[in-house]
Structure 1
């Protein structure tokens, strides 16, 4: 039944006339707890929202709010039980408020909280829908876990952090990643409609549970956010569990009644439908287009997009390494002579030495400037140095910067305006000196050999001869490369 008839029947059901004291107390706790989990209470979120420079940033802030009352700066605070500390604090606050609420309501004549329960359910399902759709688009357009770079394909298994290994495996299966994104978008969309709440919540709980426990197993640090959606979905399903149990387990006839406000009035109906339609269009159509535009047109991704040295992409053996005029023989323990090198298809040059280098443990943040994109070097040991470079083909020069260095917040803003940073123009300036721009010459005697010469970060003179190795990679790489090209002004 629908419309006013449904509302009349719902109001006639005695189960919605009176709640037990236990149900009232449980609801008071749940109401406060889930409001704390959903409504942003951190000032940083409001600063981000009201300082947003684009409409995309506004939608992103609305869909991406996360609970972060407290952060414990330990390994457990990022990956272990302590990462759920904010949930624990929200629980304590909810218990306290529920106790006070119960004391103040001890003489109340109220028999139920149907209206509050309904609107809390609306807030919960819209929070899931918006977050899940945003979560889904970064997979549907495979941005979250990019296809492995050549350097990562040539990284020893033991040098991978667990989360990076997991993300690389998903990145290889980019069609599967896109399917996961579609599933999340579809599940989120189902939660906009009352008749498909159960189906959407079940799909969401299943998909996000898989993500949560995979991130717990591989230290992916997305387990809290994924578990958050599982928890919200289970809350939505609570009122449906009794009838589901009766129908599917006990095989009894079920006539479900769930409270719903009366939206039959003309004004209420148009406001209700107009609000819902606006949210759906904004977050499925408009936000989806923004994500498409960022992926295919702007190149605001986790991995660089500026084209590298033409025809040079590949894994290279170091045939000769000359340091300050002395030719160094190969040694696996050498901290100066390069062991091998990689030219990526984009503007990254990677070389390996026997040297301790800090391991970045982040998941990589999409940026405009290629120099700031660090997904390719996160979660991986092995003594590899990543150099972002720009080409002056007229003079056969490369301008290079070490991507492993830490950039200040102010410098990041300056370097995050265009994909190509303009290293040639910055060379010799105070900004260029602050990021230590290197200037090397390059020669291409043949298609599989590159000769580099210049001064390294220690001001030592080097000449390096690189010979490309004949290697084949995973099936699907060529398709991926051909279908992920970008255009720039």
Structure 2
């Protein structure tokens, strides 16, 4: 709909003006941080109480599809539509909005670029999709959530995860400059369409925001839609883009380009440095803690009573899993899903050969276990454990240790030659 770089030659049609006005208002009220932080919490709280008699408050949960976010999205659309109708009535005689369109495109170009770099670099440096946790490898496939399956699928392959991140980073880099903006928009729309569909297909709660980023990519494609249709569909020649500059003075344009280059270097350096540090601390590059591994129960003695293995038993342990990041999980014999597991943080004293399991919300030991290495794969544990009723039980364990290298998903690797499909 919008052509000729960031301007439309001649008089705009009524539809072009209305679409621009709606999208312009929407991007201001949805994307500007100052508006988001100051206005939306009060407006959404009022709307929730007035229309549905429910309290709607912003909270940090890791989800981008909370009730607050849904209110934010819907109210932004309604407000943008209402203001655009009012605007088109008051300003219907204006020929065009080329200046506003130029500055809107400039703002959205850097906004989209920033988030493409944020999401792209955490894939290239492999923070968003780390290798599957040991506990995830033990859970039955059918009992994983769709999001858990998607995270396992992505994290199991360094190659695919890094490739998807590189595509996002390249799209962001192309958006940094006007001459490559169209290519950046095409790439951004493609990668964000894939992300949005993945979020929709696997119930990943970033649906609203990924949809908005996808629309921003489409916006830049539409800015050059006429030229793209001429080249790719109609096989017609297309005029070159005008080389527009924000200022009339040459020194001002040079100064802004120098400042832009410095800011790009600083932002890139900061992002990469921060992500490398985070990967070193708790990502794939983080060191494995002492006693890292999966400990499967061979013998389980509680209060001097040997418990035979039974899939219906909710008391006997099946696995003690010591993860990266000093996390620990206990699988009982009847544990089937992630919600059935007991989650702890650990303190390991390698000198005393002692492991302490602690709840994340307090410092009261839920279990203290002394361990002994019997041979290369077998370990014995002895100590106490507070069960769900907070009763202190004595336990003695004999276990077999494994880790991710014992799972086909992690040890199969890549093969150029496959005489037969290895679909297991």
State the TM bucket, normalised to the shorter chain. 0.7 to 0.9
Q: TM-score, normalised by structure 2?
A: 0.81
- Shift of the 46–101 alpha-carbon distance from structure 1 to 2, 3 Å rule, reads closer
Question: What is the CA–CA distance in structure 2 between the aligned matches of 1:82 and 1:42, rounded to whole Å?
Answer: 12
1:227 pairs, out of 211, 214, 236, with 211
Q: Which residue of 2 aligns with 1:278?
A: 262
Q: Which residue of 2 aligns with 1:451?
A: 380
C-alpha offsets along residues 275-321 of structure 1, whole Å, 9 cap, x if unaligned? Answer: 3213311222332222122222xx154x8946433xx5443331211
1:42 pairs, out of 33, 36, 45, with 36
2:238 pairs, out of 246, 254, 258, with 254
Question: What is the CA–CA distance in structure 2 between the aligned matches of 1:390 and 1:44, rounded to whole Å?
Answer: 43
C-alpha offsets along residues 424-445 of structure 1, whole Å, 9 cap, x if unaligned? Answer: xxxxxxx623xx4532222222
Q: Which residue of 1 aligns with 2:303?
A: 324
- Checking the alignment, whether the CA contact within 8 Å between 2:132 and 2:152 is kept in structure 1 is yes
Q: Which residue of 2 aligns with 1:473?
A: 407
Q: Which residue of 2 aligns with 1:123?
A: 107
C-alpha offsets along residues 19-73 of structure 1, whole Å, 9 cap, x if unaligned? Answer: 22332222211210122232122338999xxxxxxxxxxxxxxxxxxxxxx7799
1:464 aligns with 2:417: no
- Checking the alignment, whether the CA contact within 8 Å between 1:356 and 1:383 is kept in structure 2 is yes
C-alpha offsets along residues 331-380 of structure 1, whole Å, 9 cap, x if unaligned? Answer: 111111112333446634432115679xxxxxxxxxxxxxxxxxxxxxx5
Q: TM-score, normalised by structure 1?
A: 0.71
- Checking the alignment, whether the CA contact within 8 Å between 1:147 and 1:168 is kept in structure 2 is yes
How many pairs were matched up? 387
Structure 1 portions without partners, runs of 5+: 1-8, 48-69, 358-379, 408-430, 480-489
Deviation at 1:233, TM superposition (A): 0.8
1:98 aligns with 2:27: no
Q: Which residue of 2 aligns with 1:214?
A: 198
- Shift of the 253–71 alpha-carbon distance from structure 1 to 2, 3 Å rule, reads farther
Question: What is the CA–CA distance in structure 2 between the aligned matches of 1:267 and 1:329, rounded to whole Å?
Answer: 82
- Checking the alignment, whether the CA contact within 8 Å between 1:25 and 1:98 is kept in structure 2 is yes
1:387 aligns with 2:387: no
1:339 aligns with 2:270: no
Question: What is the CA–CA distance in structure 2 between the aligned matches of 1:151 and 1:183, rounded to whole Å?
Answer: 31
Q: How does 1:78-93 map to 2 (within 5 A)?
A: 84-93=70-79
Q: Which residue of 1 aligns with 2:174?
A: 190
Q: Which residue of 2 aligns with 1:60?
A: none
- Shift of the 252–161 alpha-carbon distance from structure 1 to 2, 3 Å rule, reads same
Question: What is the CA–CA distance in structure 2 between the aligned matches of 1:71 and 1:224, rounded to whole Å?
Answer: 17
Q: Which residue of 2 aligns with 1:438?
A: 367
Question: What is the CA–CA distance in structure 2 between the aligned matches of 1:401 and 1:306, rounded to whole Å?
Answer: 21
Give the secondary structure class of the aligned counterpart of 1:147. Answer: coil
Aligned-pair Cα RMSD in Å: 3.4
Q: Which residue of 1 aligns with 2:294?
A: 315
Structure 2 portions without partners, runs of 5+: 42-55, 414-424
1:25 aligns with 2:18: yes
Deviation at 1:100, TM superposition (A): 2.4
Deviation at 1:384, TM superposition (A): 2.4
Q: How does 1:334-373 map to 2 (within 5 A)?
A: 334-344=313-323, 347-354=326-333
